[in-house]
């Protein structure tokens, strides 16, 4: 009786978790605009034009409701209110050469960014005041934060020697946790499973624990492409492949085309619903450690659209 009760609860919570991650919204950018994508309806809504810059990073201030992004060529960090209908762009800070990576810490109210040719990691307040240089780097491209555990992850990119660095919030970079022998332009952190995800330039999606151990390829596509857009939430990795927006089911290693867009996608940001309540969501996987039951269950409630081969255009 008691067991049945727990199983039902698990079933219910798992359905909620799956359904909510497939019901969410995400933002993506092409070389001129930022779009909102509704995962359930597959509607694409253009939000703003960002004036012809390349835009690789998007992040959200969950407490005040602003989307932040760097305009690499214009050398500035911008923001606009979301989901407000008045999406007037505001300049937060003027930067050095080629700001490409950005991450927002909504809890401590800081914006972090890195400059590809400036070689530096910076932090400022949400309104652009109090700019501080934190560290010197070598061609940094992506920054991600684990706010709960106070870790910064940085991807430095080189044609044959990219690497992932890990640092505490307030001190200089000390640890290289992953050495890669290829060009990598994207990386995301899964705060629930404490894993990092990235795509190498032969199209494989790889993953490692957040201490750099257990590096593995979770999807092998054999199609070479330089992808800059990846994000992770719940059971899924969201990523771009040229102009295609795709969803990878982490457990089943199956992928689905969410959207065939009309132009190349450079950046992706997935809204993490419940980000304000991470403790509640953290508890769910613990209750659902019935792997044998969990797997077929996932199959039954699959709502994924038909599998589409990447080689199809």
Ligand X SMILES: *[C@@H]1O[C@H](CO)[C@@H](O)[C@H](O)[C@H]1NC(C)=O
Q: Is 217 in the site for ligand X (CB under 6 A)?
A: no
Piece of 11-19, 29-37, 67-75, 188-196 that binds ligand X (CB under 6 A): 29-37
Q: Identify the bridge partners of residue 120 per DSSP, sorted by sequence position.
A: 136
Distances (CA, A) of 143 to 27, 256, 297: 18, 26, 35
Hey, which residues between 75 and 94 contact ligand X (CB under 6 A)?
Answer: 86, 88
205 touches 218 (CB < 8 A): yes
Stated length of the chain: 313
d(CA 153, CA 171): 13
Whether 249 and 304 have beta carbons less than 8 Å apart is answered as yes
Contacts of 30 (CB under 8 A, 6+ apart): 261, 263, 264, 265, 266
One character per residue 141-180, x = contact with ligand X (rule: CB under 6 A): -----------------------------------xx-x-
Contact 229, 28 (CB under 8 A): yes
By CB under 6 A, residue 220 contacts ligand X: yes
Strand (E) positions, 210-274?
216-219, 230-233, 236-241, 244-249, 254-260, 267-270
Q: Which residues pair with 36 in a beta bridge?
A: 27, 45
Number of residues that bind ligand X (CB under 6 A): 27
Does position 108 bind ligand X by CB under 6 A?
A: no
Which residue in the set 32, 74, 249, 278 belongs to the binding site for ligand X (CB under 6 A)? 32
> Which of these segments, 6-14, 32-40, 71-79, 149-157, binds ligand X (CB under 6 A)?
32-40
Stretch that binds ligand X, among 4-12, 136-144, 187-195, 256-264 (CB under 6 A): 256-264
CA distance 293 to 288: 9
263 binds ligand X (CB under 6 A): yes
The reply to whether 213 sits near ligand X by the rule CB under 6 A is no
* Smallest distance from ligand X to CB 65, Å: 7
Residue 47 binds ligand X, judged by CB under 6 A: no
Please calculate the CA angle 78-189-301 and round it to the nearest 5 degrees: 110
- d(Cα 275, Cα 103) in Å, to the nearest integer? 15
Among residues 27, 247, 259, 297, the one that binds ligand X under rule CB under 6 A: 259
Q: Does the footprint of ligand X cover residue 63 (CB under 6 A)?
A: yes
46 near ligand X, judged by CB under 6 A: yes
Per the CB < 8 A criterion, the answer to whether 244 and 261 are in contact is: yes
Cα–Cα distance between 62 and 278 in angstroms, integer? 13
Q: Does 308 sit near ligand X (CB under 6 A)?
A: yes
At its nearest, how many Å lie between ligand X and the CB of residue 288? 25
Q: Is 243 in the site for ligand X (CB under 6 A)?
A: no
- In which residue are the tokens 């089943």 written? 252
Q: How far is the CB of 6 from ligand X (least distance, A)?
A: 29
CB of 165 to ligand X, least distance (A): 10
Residues that bind ligand X (CB under 6 A): 30-33, 35, 46, 62-63, 86, 88, 125, 130, 132, 176-177, 179, 212, 220-222, 257, 259-260, 263, 276, 308, 312
């Amino acid at each position: 009786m008691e067991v049945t009760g727990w199983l039902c609860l698990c079933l219910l919570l798992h359905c909620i978790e799956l359904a909510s991650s497939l019901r969410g919204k995400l933002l993506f950018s092409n070389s001129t605009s930022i779009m909102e994508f509704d995962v359930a309806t597959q509607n694409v809504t253009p939000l703003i034009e960002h004036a012809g810059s390349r835009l690789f990073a998007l992040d959200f201030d969950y407490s005040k409701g602003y989307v932040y992004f760097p305009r690499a060529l214009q050398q500035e960090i911008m923001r606009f209110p979301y989901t407000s209908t008045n999406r007037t762009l505001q300049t937060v800070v003027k930067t050095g050469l080629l700001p490409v990576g950005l991450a927002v810490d909504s809890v401590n109210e800081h914006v972090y960014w890195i400059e590809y040719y400036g070689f530096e990691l910076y932090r400022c307040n949400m309104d652009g005041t109090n700019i501080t240089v934190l560290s010197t780097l070598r061609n940094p491209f992506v920054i991600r934060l684990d706010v709960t555990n106070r870790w910064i992850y940085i991807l430095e990119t080189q044609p044959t020697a990219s690497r992932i660095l890990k640092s505490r919030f307030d001190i200089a970079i000390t640890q290289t946790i992953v050495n890669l022998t290829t060009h990598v332009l994207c990386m995301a952190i899964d705060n629930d499973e404490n894993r990092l995800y990235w795509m190498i330039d032969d199209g494989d999606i790889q993953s490692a624990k957040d201490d750099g151990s257990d590096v593995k390829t979770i999807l092998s596509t054999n199609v070479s492409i330089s992808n800059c857009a990846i994000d992770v939430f719940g059971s899924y990795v969201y990523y771009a492949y040229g102009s295609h927006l795709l969803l990878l089911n982490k457990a089943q290693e199956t992928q689905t085309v969410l959207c065939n867009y009309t132009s190349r996608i450079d950046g992706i940001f997935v809204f993490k619903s419940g980000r304000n309540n991470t403790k509640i969501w953290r508890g769910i996987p613990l209750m659902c450690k019935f792997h044998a039951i969990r797997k077929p269950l996932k199959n039954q409630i699959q709502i994924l659209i038909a599998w589409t081969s990447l080689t199809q255009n």
